[in-house]
Homo-oligomer: A and B are copies of this chain.
Amino acid sequence: MIKTVVKDLFRNQERFKDQTVQLSGWIRTLRDSKTVGFLELNDGTFFKSVQVVFEDSLENYKEITKLPISSSVSVEGVFVPTPEMKQPFEIKAHKIVVEGLSNPDYPLQKKRHTLEYLRTIAHLRPRANTFSAVFRVRSLASYAIHKFFQEKGFVNVHTPIITGSDTEGAGEMFRVTSLDLNNVPVTEEGKVDEKKDFFGKESNLTVSGQLNAETFALAFRNVYTFGPTFRAENSNTARHAAEFWMVEPEVAFAELPDIMDLAEEMVKFIIGFIFEQAPEELEFFNSFIDKTLIERLKNAQESDFGRITYTEAVELLQKSEQKFEYPVEWGTDLQTEHERYLSEEVYKRPVFVTDYPKEIKAFYMRANDDGKTVAATDLLVPGIGELIGGSQREEREEVLADKIKELGMSEEDYWWYLELRKYGGTKHSGYGIGFERLIMYLTGMKNIRDVIPFPRTPGNADF
């Protein structure tokens, strides 16, 4: 007898033919006549379930036929190919042991539930088809990212979650504290006595690991972060969460086009990995979530991404016949409707927009010679809009110091960031990709709450 899992059965059908196997899993459906029963067993290792046939010769036949959905069982039986049936094989059981009873009020009965309802049972929703597929793809995409960068020799750096810095020079941050909020210690001036807090000063949850990653890029050349980041913005949209994961590669001796090449290669690698590892999940999404998903991903994988400057993009948008909700004007940020129009209607594939006006981009981006723009890029993709944002970093110490002053930021807070430019600074560039947005792109899911295991949004930190 071979102890195995459902994935192995599906992937190695030849090997298991006529073998006796042992499986454990949860019952998805169950039906029976007086003498024979059928149950679909899902063990979570594979998107599909396996059909188990059992006859009334089993001594606990009656007990099995009465099991509530989602009960867990272990099954011993023979692998029988069934080429004439819908499923390619089934297991003829000669023994079924009940591992754990479920309950008739199990919330995930066969009828379809709304995604909104399923969010209220986040502890059970990974057992539903949609979330089984989403979270398996999420795990695979996470691995694809590590694989892509590690095989290129990138060093993975765990940048800090708790920080005294504020990368964007703006952005609403969560405060981290060990102070008793019912009894906040105050100074003589009546302000919070920050010295009494755990870290001896105000500290917050990070909004980006980039500045820290730069210190490592200037030691290891090629590095990347992959970790949680936070925004305390009170926006209740389908695209925003208070806690989300971000991937941020940072490359020394690289200019803007170098990291655009890297980003394009990375996106194609991830898509390829998902097609290879999760074809059943992609088929499911394409059938039930987004009918154009596979076509869109294949197209991205096979096309050369477009490249256009912000200035050219603005001209294109202004000349277009398209009605936009927001007007397009040089100097303002592109809205999702503009980004999607560019990638979906004009380019019909992913497109990099480069060289944005300096006023709408972050302080650390490298000033272009035109005095008006910075060496920044956003990757826009059909169905999503912005997927990646990156830039060449300002490596000139004086230019950077002037910028920090100009924006009224505190030079003291950035002493170590400036020192990177003093001690062998060099051209370097990097980008950030919101991991959840990537998962939405790969699955067709439309709400960020449905691609995070336990989403955190305003008013919601359950589970």
Contacts and interface: CB of A to CB of B under 8 A. Distances in A.
Given A72-B426, A132-B219, A181-B192, A201 B45 contact: no
Interface string A167-206: 0000010111111011010000001100000111101010
A368 interface: no
Contacts of A155: 44, 135-136, 139
B74 A126 contact: no
Given A72-B252, A161-B205, 15 more contacts: A99-B426, A102-B424, A126-B219, A132-B219, A135-B155, A136-B220, A138-B156, A158-B453, A159-B454, A164-B461, A181-B181, A199-B456, A216-B453, A227-B227, A227-B228
A443 interface: no
A178 B182 contact: no
A53 to B, nearest CB: 21
A427 interface: yes
B215 A126 contact: yes
A198 B242 contact: yes
B5 A458 contact: no
A99 B150 contact: no
A421 B106 CA distance: 12
A178 B132 CA distance: 33
A142 interface: yes
Given A5-B153, A143-B146, A463-B160, A221 B178 contact: no
A425 B100 contact: yes
Interface residues of A, number: 107
Contact of A199 (B124, B212, B245, B460): B460
Interface string A121-151: 1111011000110011011101100100010
A187 B150 CA distance: 52
Contacts of A131: 219
A200 B99 contact: no
Each complex incorporates copies of this chain amounting to 2
A419 B161 contact: no
A288 interface: no
16 contacts: A5-B221, A24-B253, A26-B424, A45-B220, A126-B216, A135-B157, A158-B228, A158-B452, A160-B456, A161-B230, A161-B243, A162-B243, A174-B178, A182-B192, A198-B458, A227-B228
A416 interface: yes
Contact of A232 (B178, B200, B252, B421): B178
A385 interface: no
Contacts of A192: 181-182
A71 B27 CA distance: 64
Nearest to A155: B139
A175 B164 contact: no
- A27, A106, A131: most-surrounded residue (chain B CB, <10 A): A106
Interface in A34-74: 43-45, 70-72, 74
Nearest to A99: B426
